[in-house]
Structure 1
Amino acid sequence: MKIKNLTFWMMALMFSSCSYEFELNDINAREKIVLYCMPCADKDTTLIQLSRSVPVSNKGELQKGIPDAGINFTVNGKEQPVYWNENATSSLPARCYYVLGRYNEADKVDIKASADGLPSVSSETVLPSSFPLKKVDMKLKREIDTKLQFLVTFQDNADTEDYYGIRVVRRCIYTSTSDNEVTDIEYHDIEFEVGDEPLLYNKSGLNSAFDLSNDFYQNLYIWSDERIRGKEYILRLKTYYSPDYVSMWDGSNYKYSYKVYLYKLSRELFCYLKSVNDVKNNDLGHKGLAPIRSHYSNVENGIGVVGGCQITETEWMDNVSTDIN
């Protein structure tokens, strides 16, 4: 799983989470530009996705892409060329804009976009520093069922407000030797149990009393440094354990390994992802017993988010053996 594909996965997450504009004060609200952009430090391609919002009073589906939009994209005040991509390729989704060039932490990105019949929009973000990783370990945790636990040690910066994320992918390599050797590889995002991790266990009040949802959208687990400002911390996450397996009948086997993706997020991107989680976990709101939550946006005159990130990934980590205590 290459990092560029991970960037597109993040864009898909953001783009799919907002399709309708709902304004109680103006049921006949005009269409607006929906803008999503996630510049990532040290990556050579930045995607920009534009669409038109669909007011609640109108019928229709969100149409991806505005091919004739005017886009001004600057990095530290210097304008960058913006290109349009019509058809999907191995490295770009269909009907999107993109910018070529590598950017670094602390670079300031400004975007302005305009399209016929729609109010112009603007937004900005600053690319964050890298994830302050010290080490990643895996071990087995003996409970009623054996769990696989990830321990991520990192050092928070006391002088800044920092926002983090983690996503782990499990790879299964299946090899059959019954006839000719055949190998199949599958990838799955890991869903963690977070009850033992105070930075991620967010239930309180009614949510805790009634055991309501504490899910993280697309298994991207995010947190801020509010509780650990300036400290070294070990993040503890556990999931079900899948031991490597060799069939005693035909010698076919399943071998597992893991890759950890660690995110440093801008405040804007963190606020947006947190709002997505809040909407998803608003069980009482879905039943009409609490206010309906809305998605965070930092796009002036429009909808969406422009937020920076920097991603650190490990090598593939071999599975833990049951012989290890």
Structure 2
Amino acid sequence: MRLLITRPLPDAVLDAARAEFDVTVRDSNLPMDHDEMLAALREFDVILPTLGDRFQAEVFAACPTPRAKLLANFGVGYNHIDVAAARAAGVAVSNTPGAVTDATADLALTLMLMTARRAAEGERLVRAGDWQGWHPTQLLGLHMSGKTLGIVGMGRIGQAIAKRAHFGFGMAIRYVTRSKRDLPELPEAQGMTDLHALMASSDIVVIAAPATPETHHMINAEALAAMQSHALLINIARGDIVDEAALIAALEARSIGGAGLDVYEFEPEVPARLIACENAVLLPHLGTNALEVRSQMGLMAVANALAHKQGRPLPNPV
């Protein structure tokens, strides 16, 4: 059975895949283009794609009877894949939940601290040779301990962020989520139904919701206007949940305290106006960038592919 891996992956993942499949590894880190996706669907039995490989309806329309029967996605997010169109073409889709939870939550706390304590501004000051020494009012930021954290999306990652923030920093937790959650480990967490009320009552807001048509531009100009002037927005989910133009306007006007972003609406494109915002911390989608985590993700994707090969139920269908 032929398997295409669309990006170079850690050696442990490639070794596991080669033990079970005839493996081809695409040697580019850029997303696949339309013709590459068509060729992959026609020539391989299983494809292991990842973020940026846009297997959308038009791709399946151009290949209505693909040889490939599984897209074993590398990553928990799969908004780059039109799952309904894939199923209509007889192609199953799987993902890698669980493996990414702790690493993504850790990255959220990294961005929270960097943004609150203006760490990126401080590093730029030192690297530019402009630091003239300590003084009492230099780069004053937000003391994170004891503040209120609002979480948009309370799935695995949202809960992992909440636990770190509450038990590590004594933060009060408020959240909005699509479905009712039983949170025995966070009994004092306050569920809310109104997004704007959440944003208005939080010192830091973290976006941890999945990218769906319903969450597109959920964080718009009105939602940002509800935030307090010192409050921070953190996004470790997907870029298009936030109206990037509205966020830039809020940062430029300093109507919010700042933003910490690991994802962007049109990544890898980052607007020059956003780059110019000193009150924004900008990371290059590092949410799971630890070797052991990326290896676990890859091994989970291979396990889905192997289940397909052996005719077993997929461990992680979407």
TM over 0.5: no
Normalised to the residue count of structure 1, the TM-score between the two structures is 0.23
Q: Which has the higher strand share?
A: 1
Q: Which structure shows the higher helix fraction?
A: 2
